[in-house]
Structure 1
Amino acid sequence: MDHEKLAKKAGQLLVIGFNGIKVPQEIRDLIHTYHIGAIILFGRNIGTPKEVLALTTDLQREAKKAGYTHPLLICVDQENGVVRRLGEGATIFPGAMTLGATGNPNHAYNVGVATGNELKALGINWNLAPVLDVNNNPDNPVIGVRSFGESAESVSKFGRASMQGMQEAGIATTLKHFPGHGDTNVDSHLDLPTIPHGLDRLEKIELKPFRECIAEGADTIMTAHVYFPSIETEPGVPATISRKVITGLLREKLKFSGVVTTDCMEMNAILHGVGTEKGAVAALKAGVDYVMISHTLERQVGAIQEILKAVENGELTEEEIDQALQRIHALKEKYLSWEDIPLDDEQEVPETVGSKQHEKIAFEAYKDSVTIVRNKGIFPLTTNNGLRILVVHPDNGTTMQVEDKRYANLSLGEAIKGYQQDADIFQFSSALDEQEIAAIVEKASGYDTVIVGTLTITPSSNQITLVEKLIKEKDSVIVIAMRSPYDYGYLPDVPAYINTYEFTYPALKVAAGAIFGKEEVKGSLPVTVIKRVVGGK
């Protein structure tokens, strides 16, 4: 057995990440020693568009020097909306539930093409999107608005349109999180969720979007670190390392012949179970092709060593590794060629990134998505007639581990000020307590209208108390749910309520335009919202 050759085969099965906007020496070493197959970029790697292009070019140059037959796959979670990685200079596009609220899959296709064009222009050739989870659990802490909605039919349509749009732009896509992460109330970043449904129900709901997109030419599928007892009989085995799920269900039953990648193997559902390194071997044995280890160098190298050990002791065969590599190479053949990758230093970022045309595509989708759930004659408000407006919203936007903290600054006040310059803004802390609520209610007494931005209300959230107290004191209260449409279930008595499904500035700007009668919005709820019982009421 040629150890060096086998090590390079094992390395090609890894997707790895690193810190910083420049390529660290240890990553260069891994590329040369192990021929690492793919790189994942996070917010920590994203600078200006020029810096991103320089980073991806440098990575490809290193791979070329190392003698790669195909370029590196470079991937990113650009789901858009609340989960996005591109920042300064790139277009802000609507996320999945925002698109679902438009009712028009053409928006998903157009946003898919435009997103793909911007990624490709920056040297990113693989997007870890679209999300095909059907969000039929209002308490899901990790999917929520990352899903197109609660209907398997709608998720199938929008997911297919999004996938095909990105593929049209020449970007490899990923359907995630197989076999479905929508009906959980546990975040697999933190623990192992279980989905107890029988196979009949899974066939009708969770699996339907995957089956339909596989039939339309899916590129890659990402596994969920979720336990499905109706498929996997061994207790506590997540889908990622279950042969019954990956080979039995996905490969054999659903006939998927493309690349299967894991979600990050450093998430707690794996890390605190089988462990990252041993989990890499277990995933490959289950039928996975790409093992994703996003953060830690020691675990990345350790996983390669475990794979080599597994081949040496017969736990894993070289033939199984070769089959995975064939699927990876087929994906690279389809999307990548050294001829298409400029390797020179001083490249200009193509004008497509952050272009006016892309902003227009995004804006049209936002206008069709923002949803007026209730309006008891409270708005449109008239601008500049001496109307005193107070805008109240949380000071931080992230609640999910997968969200990028760089985009957590909420800009609702800024959006309202675009129409009413003298509006006042009050930001409350995430620890909103009774004293802070009393101060806000007292301050509100001096204003004609209070606009409250809410952010993923839970049964114990003091945002409920705040809104209820404001409604008691004032006739004109408008609530804008800046992420979760389910907030309305906790606030059924509010006189005016709008959903934006995300706290991105363009979404909030459109909502502000609707409040002042300057934008006609057409969105409808892609999920059912029922009244929630709070504190025994």
Structure 2
Amino acid sequence: MKNNNLAKKVGKLLVVGFDGLEVPKHIRELIHDYHIGGIILFGRNIGTPREILALTTDLQQEAKNAGYTYPLLICVDQENGVVRRLGKGTTIFPGAMTLGATEDPNQAYDIGFASGKELRALGINWNLAPVLDVNNNPDNPVIGVRSFGESPDKVAQFGQAAMKGMQDAGVITTLKHFPGHGDTDVDSHLDLPVISHDRNRLDKVELYPFQKSIEAGADTVMSAHVYFPSIETDPGVPATLSEKVITGLLREELGFNGVVTTDCMEMNAISQGVGTEKGGVLAVKAGVDFVMVSHTFERQVGTIKEIIAAVERGEINENMINQANERINTLQAKYVKWDDISLDNNSPIPTLVGSKEHEELAFEVYKKGVTIVKNENILPIHVKNDDRILVIYPDNGTTMQVEDKRYANLALGEAVKEYHQNVDVYQISQKLSQEELESIGKKAQDYGVIILGTLTITAGSKQIQLAEKLVESGKTFIVIAMRSPYDLAYLPNVHAYLNTYEFSYPALKVAAGAIFGKEQVSGKLPVTISSIK
């Protein structure tokens, strides 16, 4: 290698991902040859707690063998709710909008702290959360319930509380997606969104939670692949690649001196624009520290080589690389030290992971977050043992690229069965035929109570026609919105309507309990629902 020292300084700027539950050869090579700074884990890397700890321990052992001064940073998107990576054997914690619905930032702190403790116990030292996007656009396809709500002040309060909870648990946090991804109707995984608001509006809404959380001691900030023409004058340049956004706005105006990371550079907004490798060069020039290339080995190596070449030809001043390394070193010195890491593959899993204590905490918070939005003397229902209940819900639990399809198996029927024995469950497709609609309408006549679970209704959705058909049946009819709170806008004639904000089993169980009067729920809507004309 022509300049081994430069290669490792540039390598330190890379956060990379891979497939599988074990460390592949090419990742070991990246650790030894380039001293990559971080690893990102996805659902594809997550097994049992024992398997997760074995994986993170192996990664750290490899880094130790390669002569790292500090341990690897190992990160994950554990936002909780609809975006979570940890699975069986760990606690299911409520997500951002459920927390927002509690109206108590202390709940966000407690969940952040407990989540951080479980992550840290499994060898994950960096969480890509909290989301500080203000979700003021009901049509947003990528943020939605990942946000604490539509109020900048609420997002700021809850974001700070969640951040502090994770930090106190010893986990690095990430404010995302700067300068704000809440008011878009395009998913940056698929294309380049544009937010055209003027600077005055951005200061009051999008930037406000970031500013407050930076003042409260943020660790890292993740850039959004979103174009802001009121900040970046060059057409079509996303925030991630914009010096005016990263250096001018984030560092100089807002005074953030910590680590800036990109979102994944293989998302379409970058990879199908300037390209992942060239994008890495532009991101570093803009002032970011970590370039995230989450999937493809060729693109990971290619990005490192492109940045090295840009330094060697003078396009990037090597001092920028040095400064980025210093910021990363400062972060590592604060949170990760070799003395704090066990490299013993046989270390026991701490008992707090998936503990009864954490499960009870989460359940209590779900009760404070699940929301009865509408109740025209329907709830709680009173049924006899032989009264029949029909539960209907659609398949296909995910709508966002960032969601984990492993958790898309909805269990509303099972949740209802915990409270009543005479329950039939009917799962429908998102593309209901007219014959199926008519059939369900007839089927409904055989039941005293019908519970419909909805999943992010949009204009023209068959779920709307189904709900109208069930209202016409004259039966006791209840809707549980299992993700988007905005579903009610399409269902004005429904007599009872609850929001869980996520399809996590504990949330559905709490909602079912509320229907039968077995659980008291107290959530308040963190967004405004306007009727659809």
Measured against the shorter chain, the TM-score band is over 0.9
Aligned to 2:263, the other structure's residue is in SS state coil
Q: CA deviation at 1:2?
A: 6.1
Cα distance between partner residues in 2 of 1:228 and 1:494: 39
Corresponding residue for residue 394 of structure 1: 394
Aligned to 1:263, the other structure's residue is in SS state strand
Q: Check the 8 A contact 1:133/1:177 in 2, yes or no.
A: yes
Matches within 5 A, 1:514-533: 514-533=514-533
Corresponding residue for residue 34 of structure 1: 34
Corresponding residue for residue 272 of structure 2: 272
Q: CA deviation at 1:14?
A: 0.3
Matches within 5 A, 1:459-470: 459-470=459-470
Corresponding residue for residue 245 of structure 1: 245
What is the identity, as a one-letter code, of the residue corresponding to 1:226?
A: V
What is the identity, as a one-letter code, of the residue corresponding to 1:394?
A: P
Matches within 5 A, 1:212-361: 212-361=212-361
Corresponding residue for residue 81 of structure 2: 81
Cα distance between partner residues in 2 of 1:439 and 1:405: 29
Corresponding residue for residue 198 of structure 1: 198
Cα distance between partner residues in 1 of 2:420 and 2:474: 20
Corresponding residue for residue 58 of structure 2: 58
Question: How far does the alpha carbon of each residue in 1:252-278 deviate from its partner, in whole angstroms, 9 at most, with x for none?
Answer: 000000000000000000011110000
What is the identity, as a one-letter code, of the residue corresponding to 1:356?
A: K
Question: How far does the alpha carbon of each residue in 1:338-391 deviate from its partner, in whole angstroms, 9 at most, with x for none?
Answer: 000000121111001001111111111100011111111222122443221000
Cα distance between partner residues in 1 of 2:225 and 2:436: 39
Aligned to 2:498, the other structure's residue is in SS state strand
Q: Does 1:143 align with 2:143?
A: yes
Question: How far does the alpha carbon of each residue in 1:111-152 deviate from its partner, in whole angstroms, 9 at most, with x for none?
Answer: 000000000000000000000000000000000000000000
What is the identity, as a one-letter code, of the residue corresponding to 2:193?
A: P
Question: How far does the alpha carbon of each residue in 1:128-185 deviate from its partner, in whole angstroms, 9 at most, with x for none?
Answer: 0000000000000000000000000000000000000000000000000000000000
Once superposed, which parts of structure 1, at least 4 consecutive aligned residues long, lie more than 3 Å away? Answer: none
Aligned to 1:262, the other structure's residue is in SS state strand
Q: CA deviation at 1:396?
A: 2.2
What is the identity, as a one-letter code, of the residue corresponding to 1:173?
A: T
Q: Which moved more, 1:381-390 or 1:445-454?
A: 381-390
Q: Check the 8 A contact 1:383/1:419 in 2, yes or no.
A: no
Q: Tell me the TM-score normalized by structure 1.
A: 0.98
Q: Check the 8 A contact 1:481/1:497 in 2, yes or no.
A: yes
Q: Which moved more, 1:276-285 or 1:360-369?
A: 360-369
What is the identity, as a one-letter code, of the residue corresponding to 1:368?
A: K
What is the identity, as a one-letter code, of the residue corresponding to 2:101?
A: A
Corresponding residue for residue 382 of structure 1: 382
Corresponding residue for residue 112 of structure 1: 112
Question: How far does the alpha carbon of each residue in 1:12-40 deviate from its partner, in whole angstroms, 9 at most, with x for none?
Answer: 00000000000001111110000010000
Cα distance between partner residues in 2 of 1:475 and 1:453: 16
Cα distance between partner residues in 2 of 1:373 and 1:385: 27
Cα distance between partner residues in 2 of 1:174 and 1:148: 15
Cα distance between partner residues in 2 of 1:54 and 1:256: 35
Q: CA deviation at 1:430?
A: 2.2
Cα distance between partner residues in 2 of 1:431 and 1:46: 32
Corresponding residue for residue 505 of structure 1: 505
Corresponding residue for residue 188 of structure 2: 188
Cα distance between partner residues in 2 of 1:384 and 1:26: 62
Q: CA deviation at 1:295?
A: 0.3
Q: CA deviation at 1:317?
A: 1.4
Question: How far does the alpha carbon of each residue in 1:175-207 deviate from its partner, in whole angstroms, 9 at most, with x for none?
Answer: 000000000000000000000000000000000
Q: Which moved more, 1:276-285 or 1:392-401?
A: 392-401
Cα distance between partner residues in 2 of 1:384 and 1:44: 45
Cα distance between partner residues in 2 of 1:104 and 1:316: 46
Corresponding residue for residue 408 of structure 2: 408
Corresponding residue for residue 432 of structure 2: 432
Q: Check the 8 A contact 2:430/2:463 in 1, yes or no.
A: no
Cα distance between partner residues in 2 of 1:479 and 1:341: 48
Aligned to 1:391, the other structure's residue is in SS state strand
Aligned to 2:39, the other structure's residue is in SS state strand
Q: CA deviation at 1:440?
A: 1.6
Identity score, percent: 68
Corresponding residue for residue 90 of structure 2: 90
Q: Check the 8 A contact 2:430/2:462 in 1, yes or no.
A: no
Question: How far does the alpha carbon of each residue in 1:427-451 deviate from its partner, in whole angstroms, 9 at most, with x for none?
Answer: 0012223222222212111111110
Cα distance between partner residues in 1 of 2:383 and 2:521: 18
Cα distance between partner residues in 1 of 2:263 and 2:95: 20
Cα distance between partner residues in 2 of 1:434 and 1:316: 61
Q: Check the 8 A contact 1:280/1:307 in 2, yes or no.
A: yes
Question: How far does the alpha carbon of each residue in 1:258-304 deviate from its partner, in whole angstroms, 9 at most, with x for none?
Answer: 00000000000001111000000000000000000000000000001
Cα distance between partner residues in 2 of 1:433 and 1:300: 46
What is the identity, as a one-letter code, of the residue corresponding to 1:161?
A: A
Q: Check the 8 A contact 1:97/1:501 in 2, yes or no.
A: yes
What is the identity, as a one-letter code, of the residue corresponding to 1:24?
A: P
Cα distance between partner residues in 2 of 1:158 and 1:439: 45
Aligned to 2:98, the other structure's residue is in SS state helix
Aligned to 1:78, the other structure's residue is in SS state coil
Q: CA deviation at 1:398?
A: 0.5
Cα distance between partner residues in 2 of 1:431 and 1:22: 39
Cα distance between partner residues in 1 of 2:532 and 2:187: 21
Cα distance between partner residues in 2 of 1:2 and 1:392: 63
Q: Check the 8 A contact 2:454/2:463 in 1, yes or no.
A: yes
Aligned CA-pair RMSD:
0.9
Matches within 5 A, 1:158-197: 158-197=158-197
Unaligned 5+ residue runs, structure 2?
none
Aligned residues: 533
What is the identity, as a one-letter code, of the residue corresponding to 2:495?
A: P
Aligned to 1:393, the other structure's residue is in SS state strand
Matches within 5 A, 1:119-134: 119-134=119-134
Cα distance between partner residues in 1 of 2:436 and 2:8: 58
Cα distance between partner residues in 2 of 1:270 and 1:426: 41
Q: Check the 8 A contact 2:450/2:475 in 1, yes or no.
A: no
Q: Check the 8 A contact 2:57/2:342 in 1, yes or no.
A: yes
Aligned to 2:281, the other structure's residue is in SS state helix
